[in-house]
Structure 1
């Protein structure tokens, strides 16, 4: 894995983690009882984006470190991945 591959892998993991974290703990404006005029009632009342982005950063860093260990440590090589289609045949 080169530098560009590592950055792309981290970005993909970060966005995937963020999208998994977004609905956790969400309270809609209708549930909170404070619907702001001009917004749908299902909009989040307090999305806590900063906290969720921080959690996404931490979790994706751990996932990236695990993936980097598997790739750079030689646990999984390209030859191993090329042989995966033999399991289906």
Structure 2
């Protein structure tokens, strides 16, 4: 696998993980007892910390990508192992 493929796959892992990590620990203004800004949505986060989200995302995505790459190199799980539809009919 080339380094560009590794980078592209890792970035996909990172983006997907970011969307999974983002909602954890975020509270609304009502939950924190903070006054809302005029026009603010009721569901808007009041304590969003993007640096924390990026750090956790980087750690989790690195671990997930490490497992993916180890599987790629060792062939623990192949596409045949996850084929739930069985063998395709022959096109004879």
TM-score normalised to the size of structure 1? 0.79
Aligned to 1:26: 26
Q: Residues 21-71 of structure 1: CA distance to partner in whole angstroms, max 9, x if unpaired?
A: 111111112222321123212110011111111000011111111111111
5+ residue gaps, structure 1, are none
Equivalences, count: 85
Larger radius of gyration: 2
Q: Which runs of 5+ in 2 are unaligned?
A: 87-92
1:88 aligns to what? Answer: 85
Moved over 6 A (4+): none
Match of 1:11 in 2: 11
DSSP 3-state at the match of 1:40: coil
Select the structure that is richer in helix. 1
Name the TM-score, length of structure 2 as normaliser.
0.76
Q: Does 1:42 align with 2:43?
A: yes
